[in-house]
């Protein structure tokens, strides 16, 4: 997940003037060391996250020694370019209790207008496996699900959900720093770039007509907004199978399109993982979507290969 909707109400110059978009708002100094980036969720940092989500019960999580080892180990699994970008450009990392989603990335600026990122992680993603976490995520868009009416996900029961969240948020960091997707075009008054993403997207949150679906604007993930009836699940699976987007989550905006696609590309190449979802209705399997079998996603193959080295 990334910070987007509220920020793009301003021009980039206006945004830079806001306290929460400045490194000084978060205090401390920059460090290239991974664990030195971890800070306490308090004061301004807590206020930013709470105000953004309109939720004021977040708590800081102090990493245990085992959790520090876990974080360091999972960080080592990232593609080299993502690791380097993260270490060189992430200003602060926060581990949070009470988040319903996996993580959030924001960009900030120092007094010389040099961009950095802040990243917030849900500590619960240390506990769930990938199958469990994706089922929470992918079922959260529906008004009601149960054991016989739900989205079943097959990715991995061995790897923890943090593998996805860390890779996905690291992709957002890389995107913000290197302008992979044309996010700056979304600020008022910014002209459209020549980004290849305009081949598939009208703007940051609307695919071109060929790949659009009226359902996309009718739901949000993790219960942050509208939800739709589970009766639409089969339609969504059939839809995503015919698009260049790797997941339904990625079809919501071009930044998550990039983050999801490069993440699952890397999962396939590095760990042999698939992302497979099945619509279970009245206890029976209806349509199934397998990312490995979605030939349309290969339009991003060269980019993913370049970034992951695989």
User: Taking the chain (310 residues) in consecutive chunks of 10 residues, what is each chunk's mean pLDDT?
Assistant: 53 83 95 98 97 96 98 98 98 98 96 96 98 98 97 98 98 96 77 88 93 96 93 97 96 96 97 98 96 84 92
List the 284-290 sheet strands across, edge first: 150-154, 276-281, 284-290
In a domain, 186, yes or no: no
Alpha-carbon span 242 to 128, nearest angstrom: 30
In a domain, 1, yes or no: no
Query: Does 172 share its domain with 201?
Result: no
Query: Does 203 share its domain with 264?
Result: yes
Contact 257, 246 (CB under 8 A): yes
In a domain, 27, yes or no: yes
Give the Å distances, CA to CA, from 3 to 6, 49, 104, 108, 119.
Answer: 8, 10, 7, 11, 10
pLDDT digit string, tens, across residues 217-262:
999 999 888 999 999 999 999 999 999 999 999 999 999 999 999 9
pTM of structure: 0.95
Q: What is the pLDDT of residue 123?
A: 98
Give the end-to-end CA distance of the chain in Å, rounded to a whole number: 24
In a domain, 81, yes or no: yes
In a domain, 240, yes or no: yes
Q: What is the pLDDT of residue 14?
A: 79
* Residue among 75, 226, 231 nearest 151 (CA): 231
Q: What is the pLDDT of residue 34?
A: 98
Query: Does 30 share its domain with 163?
Result: yes
In a domain, 55, yes or no: yes
At residue 70's C-alpha, the angle toward residues 88 and 49, to 5°, is: 60
Give me the torsion for CA of 61, 93, 221, 216, rounded to 10°: 180
Number of domains in the chain: 2
In a domain, 190, yes or no: no
Q: Domain range spanning residue 76?
A: 7-128+159-178
In a domain, 68, yes or no: yes
Query: Does 173 share its domain with 231?
Result: no
């Amino acid at each position: 997940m990334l910070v987007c909707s509220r920020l793009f109400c301003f021009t980039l110059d206006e945004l830079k003037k806001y306290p929460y978009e400045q490194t000084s708002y978060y205090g401390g100094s920059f460090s290239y060391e991974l664990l030195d980036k971890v800070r306490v969720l308090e004061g301004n940092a807590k206020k930013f996250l709470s105000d953004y989500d309109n939720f004021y019960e977040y708590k800081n999580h102090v990493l245990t020694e085992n959790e520090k080892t876990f974080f360091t180990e999972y960080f080592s699994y990232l593609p080299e370019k993502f690791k380097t970008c993260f270490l060189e450009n992430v200003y602060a990392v926060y581990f949070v209790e009470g988040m319903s989603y996996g993580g959030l990335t924001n960009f900030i600026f120092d007094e010389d207008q040099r961009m950095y990122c802040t990243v917030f992680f849900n500590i619960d993603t240390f506990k769930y496996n990938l199958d469990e976490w994706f089922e929470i995520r992918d079922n959260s868009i529906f008004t009601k699900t149960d054991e016989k009416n739900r989205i079943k996900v097959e990715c991995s029961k061995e790897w923890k959900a943090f593998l996805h969240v860390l890779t996905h948020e690291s992709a957002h960091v890389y995107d913000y720093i290197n302008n992979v997707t044309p996010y700056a075009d979304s600020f008022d008054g910014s002209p459209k770039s020549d980004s290849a993403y305009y081949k598939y997207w009208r703007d940051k949150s609307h695919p071109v007509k060929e790949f659009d679906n009226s359902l996309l604007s009718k739901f949000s993930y993790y219960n942050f907004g509208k939800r739709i009836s589970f009766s639409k699940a089969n339609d969504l699976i059939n839809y995503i199978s015919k698009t260049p987007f790797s997941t339904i989550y990625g079809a919501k905006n071009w930044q998550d399109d990039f983050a999801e696609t490069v993440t699952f590309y890397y999962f396939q190449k590095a760990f042999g993982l698939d992302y497979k979802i099945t619509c279970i209705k009245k206890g029976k399997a209806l349509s199934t979507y397998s990312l490995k079998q979605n030939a349309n996603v290969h339009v991003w193959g060269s980019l993913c290969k370049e970034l992951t080295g695989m």
